[in-house]
Chains A and B, each alone.
Chain A
């Protein structure tokens, strides 16, 4: 039954009232904003006090080696902790445990990960938790029961790495707005009615599984209400006002990050939704601009303090302690109106009111048609804080509609309608070396996969090498899909994300997201083989471990079609091979060119490559050209990356761009307009994603020497941002080695 009453006073009615359809609600009710940033409000005294408290806790956390505190006695669930507060004047309430920054133990993904994480920070998990998992398997247990020897080998030697087989898969975005718009009772009602519909279908595998899942979803919605009531809030009904709308939405998100220790736990696209409530309250004289900004600031403070418990090795892989609270901002509606509202500005403005920060991962959905005022403000914020990433709305909207969000760094999905099976990435460069060696791994000399003769004598011939490589790609793609099927079968079985999926339609579309790393290295290596003369060098066991290159060759990153076409071809070939293998639950195959920060670790695990890169040297991040090989300036480099076809890489193509601000123009106004032109240009060329960093190399050198003096220096790495000081020394050096576009 439709709940009426005064929750919806002042809203335009529509389909959203008879069905769960937040996008329709937004479309009917939002007010596009085409102006500039002059209306924004500074931080209030209360915000300043809260910020101070937050920063002092961050400092204590750093001083304690990265983890402030751990609750070792409870298993993290939606309802396992007492309420927690930052100050006695919090506006938006709720922490994952009873204290800010105190981490919960979440063993559902894997018990060992949880235990090791505690141990690394000097804590011991309460034995009663072990007791429980004696009788219950974790996701990790399940996966390793089913893994084949080949899958283990691929994992062990780093041909596929970062697989979510020992931790939560994440990358699922609940439609947290539903809780605010409908209240939990209405959502439960809808799920119950879905249960009824499922009862009318024959009981096959899929239907049995789904019915059990929906049952669990309903249970978790009940728990969500209990959690909120511990903070004195009754969320069974819709939100009455803007503050409640933000709060209800946050509760739903909070329950998700309590329940799942997913790698990326993204927020979705809440800004324009909130804006409708802000506008209504402002019209009714309940709020003014200052108080609206204050709510957004406090909301963002809470998001910045979300934490998961992970091992130091995991943090090393991802550089820092990321949670990817990605919020998608702006974009255009299918009807041609911009989805930019004043709240799009407000959320960016938190970077001034609260200082620059990696989280939440603010992601602007850029379209050529965005209002100029918003484009200029984004450019300003980028130049001032380096804290925004941009993704091409004009590329994604035709595929994902106008209510999609970005999970993690670059993965788009329709909110509440699609979910993703996250699949990390495989190392294409290492695969090339494996194929040249005919199935012998280049660093440990073990046999993996197809066994053939090696290309170990004379000059390497492109046609032969490429043909062989494609055979290996075919083989790897098959095992990769199978590995993912095992992982997600077990994840659904042992660590199903009840609350997040309760905030999805019951019949969802599933995406299976594969990834590649080392693209620029393979493209350059194949180009070297094709256009220069490359001779393999073998060790005493006849294993190819090095290469001699005679002559020059075209390098990816210079807008040179000879090599760019190789890169483009590679992702197409790999994607096609993936689609030849069926997936668990009929998920759609997608592919990303993204490394996050694991490009450093990938490099360590990969021998010398035919392009001249030495063994152990880091890869370039994401789809970036290899450091220092792009010689014609940034635009040529962007053009190379823009040639990779998004149609094959719908899970995203990540590009990280670093520029010294003074090279973008002589004054701030020029720099802003030129940055806008740059983003417009890249996306017009069909580029998909760009991180923008604006800083001087000298500043980074200083920060590298004394990171503790720069606790808030934020930089964008492949797909997300980190605090520079939180990076390992190796990562810091990698960032410094990156091509800076600074010709004078």
Chain B
């Protein structure tokens, strides 16, 4: 365990100084981790997936600067809604782009007994955070390195390294996979995914949706019109493979 590093970050002084850049907050999050959660969408992502549904969060510059204390205060205010299973989730963008900030937030939440989840694309490896969060949501974009590169624009190695680390260190994690019609909705891919993620608590298949279209328009980006929403039928079929 990376105790040395964790220790070095727990002084109040540093906590106060670490700022995060937050794109937005969803205080009624019920889809990113168990129970009701407050989801912090952090600004910035090192990659540019073709189907990204939060394109406005890719830019490393921007976001509203917030301190660890502010984050923890919001978590505290929303705590009565968390029920038995809820808590906070750090998503984005790619939250691991701001590792010090996320780590401090997690540690402070842990002190208070607030459940923490990190939702990551796997393009960044951060042992410290993987060791500290209560649950990791790992997005695996594809199981074939060629197609992975096509989707994400970088090599799959990091993603696999993250998966290996989570699998081999008894860390609770859920694998999520966005299913796009004709891109990764083939049985072979899903079977491979199931095998790869055999240590995950759960594999969640998320159907691609076109609801980010207005965001692309707003950014003046061209929308990836060629991507298809998978049919309900298809999703059921793939889900069966996961459940079998």
- Establish whether residues B31 and A665, one from each chain, have CB atoms under 8 Å apart when the complex forms: yes
Are A666 and B80 in contact (CB-based, < 8 A)?
Answer: no
Question: Are A634 and B30 interface neighbours, CB within 8 A?
Answer: no
Chain A residues near B38: list those with CB within 8 A. Answer: 633, 635
9-residue interface stretch from B19-27, B100-108, B114-122, B223-231: B19-27
- Cβ A681 vs Cβ B82 within 8 A: yes
Whether the Cβ atoms of A634 and B80 lie closer than 8 Å is no
Q: Which residue of B lies closest to A687 (CB)?
A: B80
User: Across the interface, do A744 and B25 meet the contact criterion of CB distance under 8 Å?
Assistant: no
Segment of A162-170, A190-198, A303-311, A671-679 in the binding face: A671-679
Beta-carbon contacts under 8 Å, A656-696 to B:
659, 663-666, 670-671, 673-674, 676-678, 680-682, 684-685
In contact, A674 and B24 (Cβ under 8 angstroms): no
Chain B residues closer than 8 Å to A671, beta-carbon distance: 30
Chain A at the B interface: SS class = helix
Q: Write the B211-222 contact mask toward A (1 if CB under 8 angstroms, else 0).
A: 100000000000
Let me know if B60 is at the binding interface, CB within 8 A. Answer: no
Among A639, A666, A743, point to the contact of B26 (Cβ < 8 A). A743
- C-alpha gap A639/B83 in the complex (Å): 16
- What does the 1/0 interface line of A712-744 toward B look like (CB < 8 Å)? 000000000000000000000000000001011
- Tell me which residues across on chain B come within 8 A of A82, comparing CB atoms: none
Q: Which of A636, A659, A665 contacts B25 (CB 8 A)?
A: A636
Interface string of B50-94 (1 = CB under 8 A from A): 000100000000000000000000100110111101100000000
B234 part of interface (Cβ distance < 8 Å): no
Query: Given A631-B24, A632-B24, A674-B35, A681 and B78 touching (CB < 8 A)?
Result: yes
Residues of A within 8 A of B155 (CB): none
Smallest Cβ-Cβ distance to A368: which chain B residue: B80
Q: Is A294 positioned at the interface, with any CB of B under 8 Å from its CB? A: no
A678 touches B81 (CB 8 A): yes
| Chain A contacts for B211, CB-based, 8 A | 744
Contact partner of B81 among A659, A663, A670, A681, CB < 8 A?
Answer: A681
Q: Which of B36, B77, B80, B204 contacts A674 (CB 8 A)?
A: B36
Is the CB–CB distance between B27 and A677 below 8 Å? no
Q: A677-B86, A744-B209 are in contact. Are A633 and B29 (CB under 8 A)?
A: yes
Considering only residues 101-133 of chain A, those with a C-beta below 8 Å from chain B are none
Per-residue CB contact flags for chain A residues 472-487 toward chain B (1 = under 8 Å, else 0) read 0000000000000000
| Contact of B28 (CB < 8 Å), options: A670, A676, A684, A741 | A741
Enumerate chain B residues within 8 angstroms of A741, measured Cβ to Cβ. Answer: 28
With a cutoff of 8 Å between Cβ atoms, the chain A residues found around residue B86 in the complex are 674, 677
Q: Is the CB of A677 within 8 A of B25?
A: no
Please tell me if the beta carbons of B80 and A684 are within 8 angstroms of each other in the complex.
yes
Residues from chain A with a CB closer than 8 A to the CB of B24 are 631-632
- Inter-chain contacts of B85 with A (CB < 8 A): 673
Q: Does A297 contact B (CB under 8 A)?
A: no
The CA-CA distance from A743 to B211 in the complex, in Å, is 10
The minimal Cβ–Cβ distance linking A366 to chain B, given in whole angstroms, is 13
In the docked arrangement, what's the CA distance between A636 and B36, Å? 13
Q: Are A559 and B30 in contact (CB under 8 A)?
A: no
Most chain B CB within 10 A, of A631, A635, A666, A741, is at A635
Choose from B31, B35, B80, B83 the contact partner of A663 (Cβ within 8 Å): B31
CB < 8 Å: which of A639, A685, A744 contacts B31? A744
Partner of B83, one of A631, A674, A685: A674
Cβ–Cβ < 8 Å partners of A663 in chain B: 28, 30-31
List A contacts of B28 (CB < 8 A): 633-635, 659, 663, 678, 741, 743
CB distance from B206 to the nearest CB of A (A): 9
What is the interface residue range for chain A against chain B? 20 to 34
Within 8 A of A (CB), among B1-50: 24-31, 35-36, 38
Shortest Cβ gap from B119 to chain A (Å)? 14
Contact B30 A674 (CB under 8 A): yes
Contact status B81-A682, CB under 8 Å: yes
Tell me the bound Cα distance from A666 to B207 in angstroms. 12
Question: B81 and A636: CB pair below 8 A?
Answer: no
Contact of A677 among B26, B31, B36, B204 (CB under 8 A): B36
Bound CA–CA A685/B80 (angstroms): 7
Which A residues are in CB contact (< 8 Å) with B81?
635, 677-678, 680-682
CB distance from A50 to the nearest CB of B (A): 38
Residue among A637, A663, A671 having the largest count of chain B Cβ atoms under 10 Å: A663
- Within 126-150 of B, Cβ neighbours of A (below 8 Å) are at none
Within the assembled complex, what's the spacing in Å between the Cα atoms of A633 and B78?
A: 11
Q: A677-B35, A744-B209 are known contacts. Are A632 and B25 too (CB-CB below 8 A)?
A: yes
Query: Which residues of B have CB within 8 Å of A744?
Result: 31, 53, 209, 211
Q: Give residues of chain A (543-596) contacting chain B, Cβ–Cβ below 8 Å.
A: 559
- Contacting residues, chain B, for A631 (C-beta < 8 A): 24
Nearest Cβ in chain A — how far from B80, in angstroms? 4
Asked if A633 contacts B26 (CB within 8 A), the reply is yes
Interchain CA distance A665-B33 in the complex, whole Å: 10
Contact B77 A677 (CB under 8 A): no
Q: How far is the CA of A664 from the CA of B211 in the complex (A)?
A: 18
In the bound assembly, the distance between CA atoms of A634 and B28 in angstroms comes to 6
- Interface residue ranges of A629-650 to B (CB < 8 Å): 631-637, 639
Q: Could you tell me the distance between the alpha carbons of A634 and B38 in the complex, rounded to whole angstroms?
A: 10
In this complex, what residue of B is CB-closest to A744? B211
Shortest CB-to-CB span from A252 to chain B, Å, is 40
Bound CA–CA A488/B80 (angstroms): 42
Q: Which residues of A contact B25 (CB under 8 A)?
A: 632-633, 636
Q: Return the chain B residue nearest A676 by Cβ.
A: B83
CB closest chain-A residue, reference B204 = A666
Q: Is the CB of B26 within 8 A of A632?
A: yes
What chain A residues lie within 8 Å of B80 (beta carbons)? 680-682, 684-685
- How far apart are the CA atoms of A608 and B146 in the complex, in Å? 58
Shortest CB distance A517–B (Å): 26
Q: Which among B53, B78, B204 is the interface contact of A639 at CB below 8 angstroms?
A: B78
Residues in A neighbouring B82, C-beta threshold 8 A: 677, 681
Which residue of A634, A666, A670, A680 is within 8 Å of B27 (Cβ)?
A: A634
Q: How far is the CB of B178 from chain A (nearest CB, A)?
A: 12
Q: How far is the CA of A168 from the CA of B158 in the complex (A)?
A: 72
Query: With a CB–CB cut-off of 8 A, which chain A residues contact B53?
Result: 744
- In the bound assembly, the distance between CA atoms of A673 and B81 in angstroms comes to 11
Write the chain B residue with the least CB distance to A682: B81
Q: Which residues of A contact B (CB under 8 A)?
A: 559, 631-637, 639, 659, 663-666, 670-671, 673-674, 676-678, 680-682, 684-685, 741, 743-744
- With A637-B27, A681-B78 already in contact, 14 other A-B pairs whose C-beta atoms are closer than 8 Å: A633-B26, A633-B28, A635-B27, A635-B36, A635-B38, A635-B78, A636-B78, A674-B36, A674-B86, A677-B35, A681-B83, A743-B26, A744-B209, A744-B211
Q: Can you list 5 A-B pairs with a CB-CB distance of less than 8 A?
A: A677-B82, A680-B80, A681-B78, A681-B83, A685-B80
The 7 A-B residue pairs with the shortest CB-CB distance in the complex, in nearest-first order = A681-B81, A677-B83, A635-B27, A633-B27, A684-B80, A634-B28, A681-B80
